[in-house]
Amino acid sequence: MNSEGRIQNSERNAERNAGRSRRALRSLCLTFCLLNSAFCILNSSAQQLVDRVVARVGGNAITLTELQAARGFGIVSGQSDDQALQQLIDRQLLLIEVGRFPPEEPTEAALTAEVQREREAAGARAAELMITTGTDESRLRDLARDTLRIDGYIDQRFGTAQQVTQDEAAAYYEAHPEAFRRNGALIPLEEALPRAKELANAERRRSQLDRWLADLRGRTDIAIPMP
């Protein structure tokens, strides 16, 4: 009888211990689930904060991480976020036009060279920048492709050989003497003329591009949300 009682007590104790173990395990699992949910919510909130929209261009969103990546990889060169954002808005306007009138696709060699230029622009921060902005190798190539397609489109629209006249080159030479000095002395016009034509042509092309971009801005809905 005593033996049977001891066995029953032992079984009851084992059941109680097993019950406590199950309850402890359920409590541990519940705690883990709550902590995991909290982490996911915090991580999601942080990601939403990082990826907030900083501009909309014709319905296309530009996020903060895209702006950070563009600055870091030398896609835009503004000294401040505001300046860089304006350049990125212009880039988006150009990409919309590229989609309407696509130029020839860039060559593999050109893509490789442009990706290398992006990496060099980022320098020692390249690996860190790729992590913080979520930019992988495929995205780097997409950025390089967009840049080259924009360049191709601009060449297609404005031409690559818009030659200025000799008088226009001379006028540029006279207006920008600092660009034609050697060892502090002004280079004679006759010697400087080829370079003056090249620089005057580049300036005219920039002016045409600026006017065209201003027109695109006037015809496109652009919104910059308040921070």
The single residue listed with the structure tokens 């030659």 is 163
Confidence (pLDDT) at 93: 97
pLDDT, tens digit, 9 for 90 and up, residues 48-99: 445 899 999 998 999 999 999 999 999 999 889 999 999 999 999 999 999 9
Amino acid at 185: A
Contact between 115 and 144 under an 8 Å Cβ cutoff? The reply is: yes
The single residue listed with the structure tokens 């173990």 is 21
CB neighbours of 115 closer than 8 A, spacing ≥ 6? 140, 141, 144
Give the residue, 119 or 59, on which the prediction is more confident: 119
Phi, psi of 150 (to 5 degrees): -60, -45
Confidence (pLDDT) at 78: 85
Residues 127, 130, 131, 133, CA torsion sign = positive
CB neighbours of 25 closer than 8 A, spacing ≥ 6? none
Confidence (pLDDT) at 196: 95
| HSE (side-chain half, CA atoms, 13 Å) at 15 | 6
Average pLDDT, the chain: 84
Contact between 94 and 209 under an 8 Å Cβ cutoff? The reply is: no
pLDDT value at 180 more than 60 = yes
Angle at Cα 52 formed by Cα 49 and Cα 58, nearest 5°?
Answer: 175
CB neighbours of 16 closer than 8 A, spacing ≥ 6? none
Cα–Cα distance, 59 to 86 (Å, whole number): 16
Candidates 104, 97, 106; CA nearest to 143 is 106
Grade residue 14 by pLDDT with cuts at 50, 70 and 90.
low
Confidence (pLDDT) at 20: 60
Cα–Cα distance, 16 to 165 (Å, whole number): 100
Mean pLDDT, residues 113-123 taken together: 97
